Structure 1
């Protein structure tokens, strides 16, 4: 190697080593944090029917002492921790859906409503904004099917102005649920903790007037969607079976709340189940059917997108989330 070549090589090496020191002094700021979640929308097919999960958000509270009536708080904490949740907190997940049968657009349950959005600083009450993100105009909804009359399922029937949020929709409700909540004797005998729920039912449905239709059990409310009585959580609690060809999904409402607790431990009686023993009986019966039929379940209080297959696991059940589908 000549001296010129050697000197050139040494010079190039030195230049490379010094390069970091010779860069201009320009600040390389990181991108600012977004601090906002993307819209909570997910779609999947049931045969020829399209299901859109339109989340209403999540609310997290300190773990109540008596969340489960027949289990200790320590047992509940351990179950939460085993499922990788915070052992000292309980999260409510809210997941209404919209079903496009091809001829009808049907919403199942309506979320917490606009007032809850303000009260929770946006953590719940997201249903209407997520409908918009999904490209669904509430005015195009033909039917809203209600599983039961707890506030997180019916308050979204009204907008922030107190008027119907689904202006052109028929509201279909279980006759048994209507009979219980509209009975003045039941309202007068209710425990003080339950009286606000009775008042809320009258507030919501009073604003809907003649838009409400009651249905009997096992009613096909539109072609492809049939009701199934699943009492216990409330007296008239109802699930909805979506069927297209050989494909089916069970929209279970509140047959369980958080599955990490109440599917894994079907004998646990939640504080918000009005008849714990009946709720357990219903839960075991329905979940045994889901296992036997290898059917997808859509759970209102499952984690988004809230759809899973169910397998038997000892005395309980284990949800296996459906895989994400990038195209329909």
Structure 2
């Protein structure tokens, strides 16, 4: 049986970081479980109203499924749900999928993947952007949902150089306040300090002309509004794109594994920092996007990560777009 310290390290449900790598354990593949096959091409386009939305794969990690993964459900019950969907029960494949919104001449990237800090099956964002006809130099705005390493590490390479040098980087004010708080960093368990260090490595050298903090509910760029979804992290934020009476919701880490936490929204993944708040907002958002029939995209959803949510029993099912 996989021991908790092997999978997470210490502390409050937040992913531990490998020493010096700034990579959350959650994003690191276990080599003895085989290697997931990366789809080709690693991008998918869709039109919604007057905008184009592109999902762009950064990579896939394969992690063992242990008893600690779902904090409030027996492992046998978790495996039974996966079996009922024809999915493996000894591991979980975790895609990392940022999105690009092209609207009104603007090219907006939402989250950035692992960059050079992932394993051989990650860090594909820049090459897949080029393949999609959107080189990094064309990105004018980067929106960040939260500060976990698999969402921010693609902003800089290992030399500290910016991947999207011409872009404004927009971050939730509540998220920035938490990770940049010296007292919170000092009080954090050892296994959490890497996440604080990583946020500072990524953002501290950005001046006010590049780094922009936004308030909950703000329209961050025309046609894209932030949606507070606190719980996974203190400032975890979703984004709603609207055009011609239609909407697309970027769900970030509202659910890390939709086959588990959409089907059972009250289950708590081990790295939600405030599990009760995460459960509450998960149900609220799923109810909202289901009733509105909105297109959705999730950072960890099965690639190409586009689809819609439908009500199923006590929860919801992700129906991917073909």
Q: Do the structures match in fold with TM over 0.5?
A: yes
Query: TM-score, with normalisation over the residues of structure 2?
Result: 0.86
Residue 262 of structure 2: aligned partner: 263
Contact 2:38 2:59 (8 Å CA) reproduced: no
Residue 172 of structure 2: aligned partner: 174
- 1:159 paired with 2:157, answer yes
Contact 1:114 1:125 (8 Å CA) reproduced: yes
Contact 1:66 1:72 (8 Å CA) reproduced: no
Query: Could you tell me how far 1:37 is from its partner in structure 2?
Result: 4.8
Structure 1 unaligned residues grouped into runs of 5+: 1-34, 324-328
Separation in 2, partners of 1:64, 1:179: 33
Query: Could you tell me how far 1:190 is from its partner in structure 2?
Result: 1.3
Separation in 1, partners of 2:92, 2:74: 15
Residue 61 of structure 1: aligned partner: 63
- Structure 1 runs (4+) deviating above 3 angstroms are 207-210
SS of the residue corresponding to residue 251 of structure 2 reads: strand
Structure 2 unaligned residues grouped into runs of 5+: 1-36
Query: TM-score, with normalisation over the residues of structure 1?
Result: 0.84
Give a deviation string over 1:178-210, Cα, whole Å, max 9, x none: 011111111111122211111111111124344
Separation in 2, partners of 1:244, 1:214: 24
Residue 44 of structure 2: aligned partner: 42
Separation in 1, partners of 2:188, 2:87: 34
Residue 294 of structure 1: aligned partner: 293
Query: Could you tell me how far 1:102 is from its partner in structure 2?
Result: 2.0
SS of the residue corresponding to residue 100 of structure 2 reads: strand
- 1:212 paired with 2:211, answer yes
SS of the residue corresponding to residue 194 of structure 1 reads: helix
Within a 5 Å distance, the mapping from 1:248-287 to structure 2 comes to 248-287=247-286
Query: Could you tell me how far 1:212 is from its partner in structure 2?
Result: 0.9
Separation in 2, partners of 1:100, 1:293: 22
Separation in 2, partners of 1:267, 1:191: 26
- 1:190 paired with 2:188, answer yes
Contact 1:229 1:239 (8 Å CA) reproduced: yes
The structure that is helix-richer by fraction is 1
Number of residue pairs matched by the alignment: 285
SS of the residue corresponding to residue 44 of structure 2 reads: strand
SS of the residue corresponding to residue 264 of structure 1 reads: coil
Question: Taking CA–CA contacts closer than 8 Å with sequence separation of 6 or more, which of the two structures ends up with the larger relative contact order?
Answer: 2
Give a deviation string over 1:9-49, Cα, whole Å, max 9, x none: xxxxxxxxxxxxxxxxxxxxxxxxxx975231100011000
Contact 2:38 2:60 (8 Å CA) reproduced: no
Q: Choose 1 or 2 for highest CA Rg.
A: 1
